[in-house]
Amino acid sequence: MVVASQALAQQEGSVPINGTVQSRCVIQADTAGTYGNPNAYELNTAATAGGNNAVIRVDVTLADSYYVNITAPSSFSNSPTLPDTVTWTGDTTVKTLSDATGMSGYETGKQELGMVDKYDLTVVGSTWFETESKATLGGSRAFPGGNYTALVEAECIAK
């Protein structure tokens, strides 16, 4: 009987250990892009088409711990109703580096995965990435008048 009462008196408990981790990779919108309309069926952010490329700034405070994936637009987030399918092309390139020596391999080392460009962020500092986007309406049909918005997406991924 003594053994049974000892088993009943035994208790268990747990206590949480909490923590908050602040990302050491921060993404900031630097410059909004604008589409030029060089002909009726094309919207293009290239300067030669009357547009302006979007620029994203990525700040890293812990070296060799993050990748950044930057995705060029593949759809409009806002547009008039379109009469045909849109074909998308886009590319992201390094525009400016805070450490030109240490970060010089970022562009040549990037991985291109469709509309996504993946960069290995090996050095502490800031990098500005520029994304060009081109939308072509099928059948060489004219884009309807109105406002168009497409989004460049960026994501820091811990290694």
Residue entry with tokens 């053994």? 3
What is the reported pLDDT for 3?
A: 55
Question: What residues does 66 pair with on adjacent strands?
Answer: 121, 158
Kindly state the average pLDDT of the residues 129-152: 96
Kindly state the average pLDDT of the residues 110-120: 97
Q: What is the pLDDT of residues 59-83, one digit of tens each?
A: 999 999 999 999 999 999 999 999 8
What is the reported pLDDT for 31?
A: 97
Give the Å distances, CA to CA, from 87 to 72, 127, 138, 155: 13, 29, 7, 24
Residue entry with tokens 């379109």? 82
What is the reported pLDDT for 11?
A: 83
pLDDT band, residue 5 (cuts 50/70/90): low
In 98-147, DSSP assigns E strands to 111-113, 116-121, 125-137
Q: What are phi and psi of 4, to 5 degrees?
A: -65, -40
Residue 120 has which token pair?
A: 């290995």
| Greater model confidence, 8 or 116 | 116
Q: What is the pLDDT of residues 13-26, one digit of tens each?
A: 999 999 998 899 99
What is the reported pLDDT for 121?
A: 98
Containing 39, the helix (H) or strand (E) segment is strand 36-39
| 24-158: CATH, from 2.40.50, 2.60.40, 3.30.70, 1.10.150 | 2.60.40
Q: Are 92 and 131 in contact (CB under 8 A)?
A: yes
Give the Å distances, CA to CA, from 40 to 36, 37, 50, 87, 139: 11, 7, 13, 14, 11
